[in-house]
Structure 1
Amino acid sequence: MRAPVQKKRPRSKGSKHSGSGVTPPAPAESESTRRTVRVRSRLVAGVAVVGITVIAAGAPAALSASSDLNDSQRLVTLAELNQQAIALAHALADERDEVTAYIAAGRDEKSGPAAEGKGDPGSRSARVDQQVDEIRGAAPAALRRDLSTIPSLRRDALSGKGTALEAHQAYSEVIAKLHDLAEDLAEKTPPRAAESTRAPLALGQATEQASATRGLLIAALSVPRKVTTPQIDPVTGLPVQTQDTGGSKDDRTRDELSAAAQQARVRELASLADFDQAAGSTARDKLSSTVTGPEVNSAEKYLNSLTDRPELSNSDQKADSKKVEAALSARIDRMRGVESALGTAQVQRLEQLRDDDVTALELRIALLGGCLLIAVGVSTAVARTLTQPLAVLRIGAARLAAEPATAEPVRYTGRNDEFAQVVRSLNALHSQLHGLLHEFNGRFEGLQTERAELIAGREALTVQRAELQVLASDLTVQLERLKNTVHHTFVNLSLRTLGLVERQLGVIESLEEREHDPERLATLFKLDHMATVMRRHSENMLVLAGAEHGHGHAGPIPLVDVLRAAVSEIERYERVTIQSLPPHAQIAGFAADDLSHLVAELLENATSFSPPDSHVQLSGWLLETGEVMLSVQDEGIGMSAVRMGELNTRLGDPTLFEAGEQSADGAGLGLQVTSLLAARHGVRVQLRDHAGTGGVTAVVVLPKTLLPKAPPAATPPPVQVPGDAPALNLPGSVAEANSNSLPGRTLALPGDPLIAAAEQTIRESGAASEPEAVPEPQPVPGHAAGNAPAPAPAAAEVAAETTMQVRLPVVPESVDVPESTAPDPYAIGPDRHERTTDESPEPHTAPAPSP
C-alpha cells in the first residue's frame, strides 16, 4: 500500500500522462525557468500573522478598559451633579414645607409658621435660586426646564388661591425630578463600583418622605381651629356645648393634610425597609448610630401619634406645632447628614473607580506590548528550527542530484518523523481491520441465531400473557361474585341477629312489665341492657357493610332522649354523667337512631380507655351558628398528637379506614362506625386533648339540618292510676330544663338507683291507705320536698319539660321483699327510654295482667 506523500505534483508545460498514470520527469530547462518560492518568506509571513493576531486579541481588552474609563468618568460627573441636586432638593423641601404651612395658616402673618418666629415663607427663596443657578449649567435639558418653573411655582403658591396640598404636590414633583438623578446614577453604577448601589437612592427617598411628612403635619396643625362657644340653656340656665353637624372647610383641609402625611409616613417606612435590604452593614450601622437621641425619639413619638390614622384627633390638634417641627427637623437633619455622607462616599468610590480604570488601561497596553514581543520572538525561534533542517536537506539533495553515482547518501540524523509513523500505523490498521471483519462476521451470525430465539420466546410470552389476562378476568369476576355473596351473607346474618335481638328485647320488656320481684326485675334489667348492647353490635355490622337499617320516627325526638338512649347502649353506663344540655333541643326523627348510635360508640370508647373509677362527662351546647355541639370527655391517659391527627383525618373521611387495620379485639371498629354514621348525616366529629385533667374529649357538631326549628310539643301531665308505680323523672330532663350539671352516678352509691326506687315504692305501697284513693303526684327530682303543689298551668308546664318517665313495678302487699345488701354493678334500668313516645306504652296505662 502506497502512502500519499504529495497531493499535487508540479506539472511543466507540454507534459503528458502516460498510460500508467506516472508523470515523466520534466526537462531541465523547465526547472530552471520556474520561479523559486522560498520557505523563509512563508515563515516570515507566519511570524507577521502571529504578531497581528496578538494585537487583534489584545485590542478588545484595551478598548474595554478605555470604555470603562469613559464610563467611570461620566459616573463621577453624574455623582457630583447628584450631590448638588441633593443639596438643592433639601433646600427646596424646606421651602415647600414652609410654604405649605404658610398657605394652611391662611396666608396670614399673624398665624402659621411666620407667627412662630420663622419669618416669611419666601425667606429661603434666595438660597434655592442660588443653588439652581449653580446646577443649571451641568444639568440635563429636561431638568433645566423643570428648574425654570420654580419661580412661577413659588409665586402661584404665595399669592394664588390654591390649597396647601396642591402647593405641596407641585413642589414635590420638582423634587422628584431632582431625585431622578440619583435613580439614574444607581442604575448606571456597575456592581464593581459598589456592593449597594441603590442604598443612597432609598435613603434619599426616605429623607424626602420624612420631610414631606413634617411639612404636611405642621400644615395640618397650622390650620385655624374653630372654637365652639357654649350657649346658655334658657330652661336650666346651664352652658350647653353645641354640636357641629358638618365639617367646615378648615376641617376638611386639615383632614386632607393629615391623610397625606400618613401616606408620606408609610412611603418613608417602605423606603427605609428598602434601604435596609440594599445597604451594607456599615451603612445601616451609620444610619442607626446617627439618627438617634432624645430629639429623634421625641420625633418618632410624634410621628406614631399623629400619623396613626388619616385624621387628627382633638388631642392631636392641640399639639404644639413648634415642638413638633423642632423634633421632626432634628430627625430630618440627621437623616440628611447620613444621606450626604453616603453621597460623598459614593463620589469617592467612583473617583477611585476612575483611577483604577486608568491603571487597568495602562496595564493592559503594557501587557499587550509584552505579549507581542514574546509571540514574535517565539515564532522566529520556531521558524529557525524549521529552516535549518530544510537547508541540510536542500544541500544534500542537490549534491545527490549533481553526482548520483559517486555521492554518498545524505545522512540525516533527524527524528523519526510523521511519514514513517503514518506508514507503520496504516499497515497495523489494515491488519487489525482484517481481524475485526472476521470477528464481526462471526458475531453477526451469532446475533442472528439469538434474534430468532428471542422472537420465538416473545411469541411464547405473548401467548402466556393472553392466557394470564383471561385467567385474571375470570378471577376478577369470581372475586366480585364472592365479594357480593359475602356482603349479602354478612348483611342477612346481621339482619337476622338484629331481628332476634329485637324479639328478645320485646320478650324481656314484656317480662319486665309483669315482674314484681325486685331481684328478678334487676336481672331482667341486666338482660335488657346486654341485649341492647348486642343490638348495637349488630347495627355496627350493618353500618360496616354499608347497609342502612333504621326506623325513622315520624316527628322530632328530644335530644335528651337520644342521649339517654346512647348511654343505655354501652356496657359501663353507670360511669356516664349527663351534664348541661341545650333546652328544648330536638333531633330530626330520621337521624335520631343513627345519632344515638354514634354517641354510644364515643361513650363506649371513653369508658373503655379511661380508669374504671373515673366518670365520663356528656354535655351539649347551642352554638351561635344554630348548630348543637356535644362533648364526650374522659379522664384517660390520652394519646399522642400524631395518633390524634390520624384519627381526626379518618373521622373526616371514612374511606381512609383500611381493611384489616383493627386489632384482634376489635379496637378501632367504633371509630370507623362513628365516621360512617357522621358522614351519612353530615355530622362533624373531632378528638381533642383535654388540658385540664388529661384524657380525650370527643366533640360532635350537629348541623342545623338535623335540628328542627319547631318548638317541642307540650305533653300532657301523666295520670296516676291506683295501684300503679309513681312517675319518675330521669336526670336528663332536669339537665335539659335547668341547663345545669346533673348529679351523676358515683361508685359510692349502695346500689342501682332504679332498684332502690323500686324498693322504696314497694315499702310505700304497703303503707298506702285505700287502693281506691288517687295518690298524690310525686315531686320531680331536684325540687325541694317541702314545696306545695303548683296550680294546674304550672303543672302542665313542668310536664312539658319532662321528656320521659319510667314506671316502676308495683309489688303485691303479700310479697316480702328483702333489702339489697350488695350493689349489683350490672343492674341497670329498663331500656325503654331509647324509644320514642309513640313506640312506648302510655305512662298512665296499667301493666298487662300476667297470663
Structure 2
Amino acid sequence: MQNKRPRGNDGTRAARTVRVRSRLVVSVAVVSLIVLGAGAPTLFAASADLNDSQHLVTLAQLDQQTVSLAHALGDERDGVTQYVAAGRPSGKDAALKEPAARVDRQIDELRATAPAGLARDLATVPALRRTALTGKGTAPEAQKAYSDVIATLLAVADELADRTPPRAAEAVRAPGALGRAVEQASATRGLLLGALSVPPGQTSKVLDPVTGKYVQKEKDDSDAGRARDALSAAAQQAHVREQSALADFDQAAGADARDKFATTVTGPEVDTADGFLTRLTDQPQLSASERKTDPNVVNAALSARIDRMRGAEAALATSQVKRFEQLRDDDVTALEIRIGLIGALLLLAIGVSAATARSLTRPLAVLRRGSARLAEAPGTEEPVRFTGRNDEFAQVVRSLNELHGKFAEQSTRAGGLDEDLAKQRGRLARLAAEKDELRTQVRELTDRLERTEGTVQHAFVNLGLRSLGLIERQLAVIESLEEREQDPDQLAVLFKLDHLATVIRRHGENLLVLAGTEHHHNHPGPVPLVDVMRAAVSEIERYERVVIQALPPHAQVAGFAADDLSHLVAELLENATSFSPPDIQVQLSGWQLEGGEIMLSVQDEGIGVPPERRAELNRRLADPASYEPGEPGTEAGGLGLHVSALLAHRHGVRIELREQKQGGVAAVVVLPEAILPTTPPAAAPHMVPVPGGAPRFTLPGALAEANSNVLPERTERSGEVARPVTPEPVEPVEPVEPTEPSEVPLDEPTFEMRLPEPRPAEPETAPEPEPEPEPAQKVTDKGLPKRTPKVVQAGPAKSQERKGGTDAAEALRRRLGGFQQGAKEGRRDVAAELEETDQQADTDTGETVEEVRR
C-alpha cells in the first residue's frame, strides 16, 4: 500500500487505484521464484548423487565381469606356466585350448563396456598366449606376462573403492584385497605345479652316506635345477603376498564378510591344500622328497581351495553390485522426494500468497475505519461490526475483534500483575531482611570464632606458662640435689638431667613464641656476646658437638634482646646438629662488619639443602607470616626455623641460609646496631700475678673471653676443659693410677665452660670471702643464675698450686663442687631481685611462671 495518494487538478485526493493488487501479484511471483531458487541446489545435489551412484553401479558390474575374467585368465596362466616349465611337450597343449576359448569369449563380452585402457590390455592376450606356447621364453616370464594383465583387471576394484563416496564407503577396500589374495593363491598354484613339472636334469652317481650305495643325483648347477628353484622361490613369494592380502582383507572387511569367507574357505580339502602350501613353500627350493610329490594331487587340492576362495570373491562382488544398485535406487527416491517437496512448497507458496492478497484487497476502508476507531479508544469502543459476506474480510474483522477482546483481557490481567508485582516486591523485601539477618549471623559467628580462637590461644599460653613453671621448679630441685651430691658419677647424671630440663624449657618457650607471647625478662645492662652464645649452646641437646671459633672482642648485646638472641641461636644450632653427621663438629663464630653490625655464623658439614628448598626457607625466614605448617610427623614445616624467624622479627635481626663450598649449610645471623650497645664493659680490669714475671692484665670472668678472638677448645678428658696458659712452663700434673675400673674418669665431652679452679685440700681452714652482688644480667629470664663463671673481684688473686690426688673421683668432686659453690653464691646475689619479682607476681592472675613456681 502506497504512502501517499495522488492528487487531482483541483487539489483533492484521487480515488484509490488498483496498484495494490499488482504489487501483490508481483509479490506472489517473487515468492515462487524464491522457493524455486531455494530448492534448486538440493535438486542439483540429488541429481549429482544419482549420477555418481549410477556410475558406481556400472563400475561395480564391470568389476564383477573383470573378476570372472581374472579367474579364467588365472587358470590359463597356471596351465601355461606348467606347460612351459615341463618343456612344452608335444600333445600336451590340447588341454590349454578350452581355458583359452573361455578367456576369449569373456574378453569379447567385456570389450564393449570396458574402458579404452583396459580394452587395449585385453587385446594383447592372444599375442601373449602365442608367445608363451610357441616361443622360447621361460615359465617365470610367461607367468609374469599373464599376471600383469590380471593386475590390470584387479585395478578396477581399486578404482571402484577410490570413487566410492563417503556415504557408501562401507568396506570398499575388502573386494580388492580379496581379489589380490585369490590371484596370488592361483599364482602360487601355477608356480608350484611348474616347479614340480620341471623334468630332471643331468644326474651323476654319488655315494649315499646313509645306505652306503651309489645313487643317481641331479647336479645342482643344471638348467633344470635353476628353473625349478626359480619357480619354487617365486611360489614362496606369491604365498607370502597371498597371506598379506588376506590380512588386508581381514582389516578392511566387515564382520559379515569375514564370517562368510571363513565359512566358505574351509573343509578337509582346504586343510589338505594348506598342508601342501606349508610344506612346499617353507623354503625357496624344493627338497628331493618334495620333488617327488604328485603334481596332479597338488593341483586337485590347491584348485579346490582356490575355487572356494573365488566363490567367496564372486559372492562379495555380487553383494557389492547389489549394494550400489540399492544406493542408486535410494538416490532416485531421494531425487523424486525432493522434486515433489519443492513442487508442493511452490504450490503452497503461491496459494498462501494469493489468499493473503485476496484478504488484503477486500474493503480496506471498512477495516481502516473500524481499526482507527478501536485505536482511539480501545477500552470504551465497541467491536467492529461487519454485515457483508462471510469471507476473508470477515475473518480479518473477527481477528481484529479477538485482538480487541484480548487487549481488554490483557488490561484486566495487567491490573492483576500490578498486585503480583507488589507481592513480589514485598517478597524481595523479606528476602533482603533475611539476607541482612544472615549477614548478622555470619558476623556473630565470626566474632564467636575469633573469641574462641582467643580463648584457645589464651589456654595454650596458660598451659605453656604452667609447663615452664613446672620446669623451673624441676630445675630448682635438680640444682638442690646437685648442691648436696658428693658422688661424681651421680653429680654428672644430675648435670645431664639439668641440661635436659633446660632443653625442655626451650621447647616450652617455643610454644609461647609460636602463640605470639613475649615471655622474657629484660636485663638491666648489656650482656657479653660470649655469654649469650654460651647460653645458646647450653640449651641444645648435642651441646658437646658445638665449637665456638671466634667472636668480636668487647661485643655486647642489649639486655632486652639477650634472651631472644640466645634462643634464636639455640634453634639454629639445634638444626645444625640434627642435620649433620654425629661425628662432625658444628662451628659457631662471629665477626664485626664495617657498618657496625655483627654477623654470626653457624656452620655444619651435613648433606646440605637443595637450592629450591633453601630459597623457600630463606623466604620464610625473611617473612614469618608466610609460614605454612607441613604434614604431621614431618620436618616439612621447619618449626625451629619458624621460631627463629619470629624471634628475629622482634629485634630486626636478619637470618639467611647459605650453601658452603665444602658441603653443608651456613646459617648467617646479622645483628643490627640497635641491639649492640657501644658502652664499654663496666667491670674493672683485673691483675693476675704470673709466677716468674710481672702481673698480667686480664678482664674478669666472661669478659676475659669476650675480648679474645679465639676461645679455648674442648678437651676429651673427664670433666676438664683446656685452658689458656702463659708462656712460662707450668708444673705438670701427675697422672692418677686407677685402682679399680669404677674409678676411671668419665670419658665424656663436657660443655665448654670455664669452671672454677679446684679448691685447696683443706677448704675449711680459709673460708672464702663473701662476694659482691652480681649485676642483673647474670640472672636468666626464669630467675635462675646463668651457667657462666662469676665475675671475680678486682685485685690480686692468690696463686693456687695445682695438685694431683690419688683419687680421681675426689678430684672431680672438688672441681664440680667449686662450680656449685659459684652457682650458690650467684643465687644469693639475686635473692633481692627474686624477692621483688615475687612481690610483683602477687598481683598477677596466677598464670605466670613466677606464680607457678611459688
* TM, length-normalised to structure 1: 0.43
Max radius of gyration: which structure?
Answer: 2
* TM-score where L is the length of structure 2: 0.42
